[in-house]
Chain A
Amino acid sequence: TQLLEQSPQFLSIQEGENLTVYCNSSSVFSSLQWYRQEPGEGPVLLVTVVTGGEVKKLKRLTFQFGDARKDSSLHITAAQPGDTGLYLCAGARTSGSRLTFGEGTQLTVNP
């Protein structure tokens, strides 16, 4: 059973466009992490959100945690080719527990 539904799975856009990636679940998470991964490399942590309703910004990236801590979104403004990669959301329920990963969003930003 996939506990974290991530969408879209694939996204190909032009440089300068905006986009949003969603992670949804029927389960409550104590925290949710977003990673970006480039081919042949490990996932790089972008942000962790822990409080319901929390919004965090990282330059052109805006992350939001749902009020009920069941969903999260990643919005990228004015996407650039350097944003290309696999974006993964991952939720955790308790301290030291395993992460539940979404299926990932493969983003391609064309120049």
Chain B
Amino acid sequence: DTEVTQTPKHLVMGMTNKKSLKCEQHMGHRAMYWYKQKAKKPPELMFVYSYEKLSINESVPSRFSPECPNSSLLNLHLHALQPEDSALYLCASSPIGQKLAKNIQYFGAGTRLSVL
């Protein structure tokens, strides 16, 4: 099973709303990632969690707030977003410390976010 599940699949929100994106994996992976992707462009890394601790923040604006409640779950809390934040938000996970599989990232299907 290499499944990463993201909800919701689509989200439309106003600039004053607060919403959350959710990501779940049961592969025992201890690294989890949030990416932002614009159409026909590669994913851009936003945050990395290792062993449930934030290890990388790619200078993301504070209107995006990640949370890792446990080793299987990753959330992205959204508040006061701008229209230019509309994009596909991808979650990924990867194992840590397994020699042959160490760099493989598995992606979810994404949440298509539209900010009005």
Partners in one complex: yes
A-side residues, CB < 8 A to B, are 30-31, 33, 35, 40-45, 48, 50, 86, 88, 90, 92, 95-99, 101-104, 106
- Annotate B73-116 by CB proximity to A: 1 below 8 A, 0 otherwise: 00000000000000010100010110010111111111010000
Query: CB < 8 Å: which of B41, B45, B48, B106 contacts A104?
Result: B41
Total inter-chain residue pairs, C-beta < 8 Å: 66
Chain A residues positioned under 8 Å from B88 (CB to CB): 40, 42
C-alpha gap A96/B4 in the complex (Å)? 17
C-alpha gap A96/B45 in the complex (Å)? 14
Tell yes or no: B14 within 8 A of A by CB.
no
- Minimum CB distance partner of A9 in chain B: B40
Chain A residues positioned under 8 Å from B109 (CB to CB): 41-42
Tell yes or no: B56 within 8 A of A by CB.
yes
For the complex, count residues of B whose C-beta is within 8 A of A: 28
- Is A40 in contact with B105, judged by CB distance below 8 angstroms? no
B-side residues, CB < 8 A to A, are 2, 4, 6, 31, 40-43, 45, 48, 50, 56, 88, 90, 94, 96-97, 100, 102-110, 112
- Is A106 in contact with B40, judged by CB distance below 8 angstroms? yes
- Is B102 in contact with A96, judged by CB distance below 8 angstroms? yes
- Is B112 in contact with A40, judged by CB distance below 8 angstroms? yes
Nearest chain B CB to A25 CB, angstrom units: 14
Chain A residues positioned under 8 Å from B100 (CB to CB): 50
C-alpha gap A74/B97 in the complex (Å)? 28
Chain A residues positioned under 8 Å from B102 (CB to CB): 31, 95-96
- Is A40 in contact with B110, judged by CB distance below 8 angstroms? yes
C-alpha gap A53/B48 in the complex (Å)? 31
- Is B103 in contact with A30, judged by CB distance below 8 angstroms? yes
Chain A residues positioned under 8 Å from B45 (CB to CB): 98-99
- Is B104 in contact with A48, judged by CB distance below 8 angstroms? yes
- Minimum CB distance partner of B30 in chain A: A96
Query: CB < 8 Å: which of B2, B6, B56, B104 contacts A33?
Result: B104
C-alpha gap A95/B101 in the complex (Å)? 9
